Chains A and B, each alone.
Chain A
Amino acid sequence: MTMDANRVSVKGQASGQSRLWKNAALALSLGMLMATGCHKKNSAPPPSALAPSDSGIAPTATISADPLSIDLGQSVVLNWRTTNASSVSIDGIGSVPVNGTQTVSPSASTNFHLVAKGDGGTTDASVRVTVRVPSMPSVPSGEGDMGSDSIFHSHVQDVFFDYDSFTLRADAQTSIAQAAQYLNANPNIKILIGGYCDDRGSAEFNITLGENRANSAKQGLVAAGVNASRIRVVSYGKERQFCTDENEACWQQNRRDQFSIDR
């Protein structure tokens, strides 16, 4: 495949036209991309291209992690051993001793890729550490499948507001950050944010206040990387209530943004 792509690019260059030049460059980079991809997949290096000489003995390398999966915030011990290597590096960590251990605390699932170089050539090894971000099981990405409501609600929780305010409180910002993580991990899900107000105050003003509340959450999600086109906001003002008692506990229940899957 790599060769094919390169050949195409050569042909383009030969024609000498500028538009084809562009195509050529595209094809070339595409070829390189594909080459890199292939390279990663095969742990054995292409011998002729990478070995500087045939004299040395090819290095060996292993890397392990304990444990292999952690919860977010926990740490994992990486342990690697190489032979016949003069320099060893791990992606994301940099140069490391030829044998060693290191404690790391990745924030997301990571492939720790080790490259060992020696006189006899280069070899690599990798280990994958899975990080369980709280409540982030990926929804099976079928066509338009947005997953179950219960999973959604366990990760995307309603946020609550102070009296006559549409500013996200600290607790709301935490909820929004968690919601954004889940939504970024599940790009199929479309979200409806409903803005609500307690039943004090005037009906028309409360509809606009609810609109501002829903928009505050939307802006928080967009700032955290959720595409705005996935989010729909609707203000219900005080026309729909979660709780109808006249006390602060109840009013607080009603001053909220409700998140739901926008099916």
Chain B
Amino acid sequence: MMKTSYGQKTSIVAGILLSALVASKAHAQDWYQLETNKGAAERIRIATADFKPMSSDPSVGEDKHVFDATLYSDLASAGIFDVVSKSQNPQALPSNQSDVHLADWAAAPASASMVAFGNLSVQGGRIVVNGFLDDAKNTQYPQVFTKLYNEEASSDSARQIAHRFADEIITRLGGVPGIAESKIFYVKKDGANKEIWAMDYDGANQHAITHLGAISISPRVSPDNSRIAFSSLDKNGFQIRMYSLLLGRLVNYSSVGGTNVSPAWAPSGQQLAFSSSRTGDPEIWISDPQGSLSHRITSFVGPDVSPTWNPKTGAQIAWISGRSGLPQLYIMDADGSGVARMTDGGYATSPSWSPNGQFIAFAWDRKYGPGAPGGQDIYVMEVATKRWIQLTHEIGRCDFPSWSPDGRHIVFANDPDGAAAHTRIMTMLADGTQRRALSGAGTDMPNWSWK
């Protein structure tokens, strides 16, 4: 029954321009073409001027450096811009709308369509940033917007303001909110234990959330960023834990026997889907955020695990089931009806449903088995057609993809050499390009925040 959709040997290309994922015919093997086919011409060419320091406070130099680097990096990684290399920028440094010479920016070699610029000052413990975005080709009314940030200076404030300014630009030009203020939660190895950590979306600001001295895995942040659900190993096996990011401590979550793992938030934030063996066989259950009102929605012998909700509708759940042997990707309605198998073989795990509801990213080893060629890579499947595209190739074992809030990026875990301790977290655009590492060895299971 699965054969027909795969027989065509077609795959989808996840185009990222304006978050429209464009389906087109391409052989799955021709992956090098996918990476070279991406059309730089479709991207907006944007230049970022270094911001002009407007005060003599000794810390302004460092803050300005962080701000400039962060803004550039945010725009470059957004996936919708062709960012002008700073070596091609005009010499003169604009500080505000009155002294910017847009013709210089519009001309070669910068050839910018858009220019971001402004000024930054640190005075009396406050950092003040004045940011501008201009349309370099619109000589009459060039200003797209201007934004003033004025807040208490801290070691992190220059970077966070740069993220917000970048998000504003991305929102205005890209049509959907930027992700520069989003967070990634993950697992960090700590000797024999694993703790839950968090970092900014660009890999900065890595810090521990839990200090439980246990093996904790599968962090999933709530849609409102207030709580993290995860699983910890204790005397009775893995149990779901709930950590309040507002209170900075564990809060109640009741488990009723068995192994309880892989929690997944419904987009409403009012329900959790998870795997529980409280009746003997691991099945998918749904509870409220306190662990109460739980009910089972699958019923079939064999592992059922790793649910993920359709974040667009909240009405469907994708998950992994071993009911027919090797784990496969399935979808069903949130009441357990309408079960459909999505993968036709291999070893499929760790699904993550895209924010627009159209795609499921997952890890797949299509020729799984001892001695089999190939490896475990990240794939994206279009739910409606079951057509898929392979995003990673020959970079080692990949697992745990998680979509960015704008649906343009995917973060995942990569084990480059087969040694589990070397696993790290990487990010890429949803077409597999612009891949880079965010964290070092001993990090795993990333989960991108909902906003």
Contacts and interface: CB of A to CB of B under 8 A. Distances in A.
Contacts of B304: 208
A197 to B, nearest CB: 10
B237 to A, nearest CB: 4
Interface string A139-153: 000000000000000
A205 B325 contact: no
Contacts, number: 91
B261 interface: yes
Given A234-B236, A239-B215, A204 B277 contact: no
B259 A207 contact: yes
Interface string A145-167: 00000000000000000011010
B172 to A, nearest CB: 39
A132 B409 CA distance: 67
Grouping DSSP codes into helix (H, G, I), strand (E, B) and loop, the A interface class, with mixed when no group exceeds half, is mixed
B233 interface: yes
A207 B274 CA distance: 13
B237 A212 contact: no
Contact of A211 (B303, B350, B445): B303
Contacts of B418: 246
B74 to A, nearest CB: 31
B186 to A, nearest CB: 13
Contact of A205 (B235, B258, B259, B305): B305
Interface string B372-405: 0000100000000000000000000001100000
A208 B350 contact: no
A201 B259 contact: no
B58 interface: no
A205 B306 CA distance: 7
Contacts of B363: 202
Nearest to A251: B370
Given A235-B259, A239-B217, A203 B275 contact: no
A111 B164 CA distance: 87
A86 to B, nearest CB: 59
A178 to B, nearest CB: 24
Contact of B370 (A203, A233, A236, A248): A248
A115 B326 CA distance: 62
Nearest to B277: A211
Interface in B298-322: 302-306, 320, 322
- Of the listed residues A163, A211, A232, A239, the one surrounded by the most CB atoms of chain B closer than 10 A to its CB is A211
Contact of B261 (A204, A232, A234): A204
Nearest to B233: A239
B327 A207 contact: no
Contacts of B235: 234
Contacts of A215: 277, 280-281
B215 A234 contact: no
A234 B305 contact: no
B370 A205 contact: no
A208 B262 CA distance: 10
A204 B218 CA distance: 8
Interface string B17-58: 000000000000000000000000000000000000000000
A109 B236 CA distance: 38
Interface size bracket, A side: 20 to 34
A203 B445 contact: yes
A176 interface: no
Interface string B217-236: 11000000000000001011
B327 A234 contact: no
Contacts of B399: 202-203
A211 B349 contact: no
B282 A234 contact: no
A242 to B, nearest CB: 14
A88 interface: no
Given A234-B236, A235-B259, A211 B217 contact: no
A131 interface: no
A168 to B, nearest CB: 14
A58 B319 CA distance: 80
Contacts of A164: 322, 325-326
A208 B326 CA distance: 12
B339 interface: no
Interface in B177-220: 194, 215, 217-218
B359 interface: no
A193 B422 CA distance: 30
Of B259, B275, B420, the most chain A CB neighbours within 10 A belong to: B259
A233 B233 CA distance: 13
A209 interface: yes
Interface in B53-109: none
21 contacts: A202-B320, A202-B350, A203-B217, A203-B444, A204-B261, A204-B306, A204-B320, A205-B320, A207-B261, A207-B275, A208-B282, A208-B303, A208-B304, A209-B303, A209-B322, A211-B277, A211-B282, A211-B303, A235-B259, A237-B238, A246-B418
Interface of B: 194, 215, 217-218, 233, 235-238, 258-259, 261-262, 275, 277, 280-282, 302-306, 320, 322, 325-327, 347, 349-350, 363, 369-370, 376, 399-400, 418, 420, 444-445
**Ranked 8 nearest A-B pairs via Cβ:** A208-B303, A202-B349, A208-B282, A234-B237, A208-B305, A204-B262, A211-B277, A204-B306
Given A163-B370, A234-B237, 17 more contacts: A164-B326, A199-B420, A202-B400, A204-B306, A204-B349, A205-B322, A205-B327, A205-B349, A207-B305, A208-B261, A208-B275, A212-B322, A215-B281, A234-B236, A235-B259, A235-B277, A239-B217
